[in-house]
Amino acid sequence: MDPLTEKPDPEFLVQIRNLNYRIGNRAIHKDINLDIPRGKVTTIMGPSGCGKTTLLRLIGGQARAHSGQILVDGINVGRLDLNGLFTLRKRMGMMFQSGALFTDLSVFDNIAFPLREHTTLSESMVRHIVLMKLQAVGLRGARELFPAELSGGMARRVALARAIALDPMMIMYDEPFTGQDPITVGIIMQLIRLLNDTLGLTSIIVSHDVQEVCTISDQLFMLSDGKVISHGSPDQMKRSDSEAVQQFMHAFPDGPVAFHYPAADYFEDLMQT
């Protein structure tokens, strides 16, 4: 067997063990352990700056952990060279918060791009696949439009169609609901759940939107201060005894997550000359 590969776990697609990552002297992740089950929708939650999006970057190999192990379908991501990462990423889809569409390409060509880049399919087959993916997200009629002509919600749906163009085993969503109106949020929620179940995907969502992710997620992980402080089903998380979890899940303004950034005593600070 390839020394970079272990026997894939039949239950978990992503396994993270004793993960530590820092930026400069600041620890972002501190000895994190978590498992992402196959075929399920898993959400990573937590306060701003706790390392949620960074965790997606580590899973995808855009960043390298300082210690610990990340296995994706049995493959040790941290030990892959550039070619190995290139091969693995073809099995992953990513929907960026901004959509990250190519502004000079039409909707059709944005979705066709990964097919043309990574396969030798004929243009006729590319066309059929692109139209099929656009049909799945309800935008087949928008294929000739350019990103500047799309609403924010439409751009997210095009990005989702591109993310599934190569029929990946997993899709990662970075804040998919941010800045969207309630109707668009409902559409994206429905698409995430429907595509996950219909295509047999594994979905990983990073989001602050508690109500939305509780509706579509099978399990939740909550990060805080660089650690996993709780995980479980949405119902289990809502009933958690942790004050930090309760504060986040119910949007309480007071709790373990302080309003003020650490600072010297206010009065003493004012009196300094």
Q: Does residue 154 fall inside a structural domain? A: yes
Residues 64 and 74 grouped into a single domain: yes
Residues 137 and 20 in one domain: no
Domain with residue 29: its CATH number is 3.40.50.300
Bridge partners, residue 44, by sequence:
206, 221
Model pLDDT, residue 2: 46
- Beta strand pairing call for 170-174 and 75-76: unpaired
Q: Are residues 11 and 67 in the same domain?
A: yes
- Same domain? For 184 and 129 the reply is no
* Pairing state between β 75-76 and 67-72: antiparallel
Helix (H) or strand (E) holding 85: helix 82-89
My answer on whether 145 and 16 are in the same domain is: no
SS3 54: helix
Do 177 and 212 lie in one domain? The reply is yes
Burial annotation 20-45 (CB, 10 A radius, 16+ → b, else e): ebeeeeebbbbebebbbebebbbbbb
pLDDT at 204: 95
Q: What are the residues whose beta carbons fall under 8 Å from the beta carbon of 102, sequence distance 6 or more?
A: 109, 110, 113, 147
Residues 122 and 4 occupy one common structural domain: no
Rounded Cα gap, residues 209 and 188, in angstroms: 13
- Domain holding 116, by residue range, is 97-167
Is 70 within a domain? yes
142 plus 191 within the same structural domain: no
The rounded Cα 217 to chain-centroid distance in angstroms is 13
d(CA 74, CA 57): 18
What pLDDT shows up at residue 221? 93
**Structural domain includes residue 259:** no
Nearest to 14 by CA among 89, 63, 71, 93: 71
Sign of torsion over alpha carbons 207, 213, 216, 221? positive
Judge if 80 and 123 occupy the same domain: no
**What one-character-per-residue DSSP string does 223-269 give?**
EETTEEEEEE-HHHHHT---HHHHHHHTT-SSSSS-SSPS-S-HHHH
Asked if 29 and 70 sit in the same domain, the reply is yes
Going from the first residue of the chain to its last (273 residues), give the mean pLDDT of each consecutive group of 10, the final group possibly shorter: 62 94 88 94 86 90 90 92 89 83 93 92 94 91 93 88 91 86 86 90 90 90 88 87 77 64 79 74
**Same domain membership, residue 155 and residue 202:** no
Number of domains in the chain: 2
- 72 and 17 inside one domain: yes
